[in-house]
Structure 1
């Protein structure tokens, strides 16, 4: 083997080994996060990173329809692929993909929680895959004899959905608002009100520029700050009288955000198997690199 070929092979081996190590650490860390986070009830859950078990229910959002099948659902994800052939190379190329962003409502025996699915690893129970001759399918997937004798395979369609009544395991960042649960950070709230007012500076001058010179002097600025403080307190008071609302969303830190119809045990088992695959890749890459280095030493 020439030197250039050895260098290319060595670079590929190191990349495979590093990729396997990264995959192992990622999946092992996700499994540990799931195991180390206790299951909580919505009503009594602490603010922060939590996991819930519950059942999906219809929310107040307008009903969604799967983009490929027009099936009513609570959440959808789709993909359209095209079959390409170039000599001996054959593959499916993704043409379109997307997922819905409407809020989900999870209920357990103690309360309800709204979930923002953006950024989540969603593992739904319902998944349909079929093929056809048009880029956009006409209606639902073919079944039975129609699917068996269909030769239209240029396009492949995948649609995944979550439906009301399905069980859901959810782990992510939990926050509650309303019901007097949140304390008032007056300086921060006052600053937010002032920034909002500055967005309409003309209106701000009209309210507080008493001498009409087009500027706010020190005394006028003190009036602005006092009014903003009173406005912030009033907004907090009104918010505190609202019913408590619970929300689950993507954590700010590098923690798993997972919505799955499968339970924790099944997810952890899958992550451990995937972590083991990362170990195999890492060792294979390291052995290949050591073999190439050994050839070069001779």
Structure 2
């Protein structure tokens, strides 16, 4: 079941980049994000009401959902959309892949969870693999004020994502199921975005073109309702550190889609990076270890 949820998350989030790209242009970024999570939250809320699976929350549960909505469905996306205005998307993906390490550290700080050497090694391998995958893009990036600004937004977005993971863990420990937690959190996140857009005086334009509408529906239903529910279920079942390895693998899926849709060309660096990412997956989801034979010899 964990592997199914994991690959479902990777497949969906690995294809959302194309949909996000189709949304850029007519509608302001914060407004597009508001449309996405308002629609996703309302759909999820309606389904839970119709199936009578919506849980009632106490005051603490609502505050946890407010916090998750702010971190995971508001600030996280605002930071990453802003980061892509200053630095290449490949560099943003590399920074975001550090969520595995962020989650391991935050789980230690929040819950006292021991940081597994296997998870840290997998995160380091995955991060190294992504650096190789995007090396041509990274090597051509010249240090500047804009670069530092973009990196700052990307790091802040990753921190917000990780904090949202911790709040989801608290929700599930309190007995709040991911579907209910997501429904409330998405609506709270959308409400915060709405207030911010109104305060900033942003126009609520809408692009009726098929690409924009199709991208909005895909991001709301698959990228948000299904993708985040699958991922946050993994957070509860596997722990934040192991679940966050999705963030390392889904850029690889994005590149595979880009090969067909945008003519991405694989280089020796990219292939070596893919091998390191796959090695990290072996460490996370199997008992295999490159040091197992040495350890067995030592015990003998």
More helix by share: 2
Give TM-score, length-normalised by structure 1.
0.23
More strand by share: 1
Give TM-score, length-normalised by structure 2.
0.22
Higher Cα Rg, which structure: 1
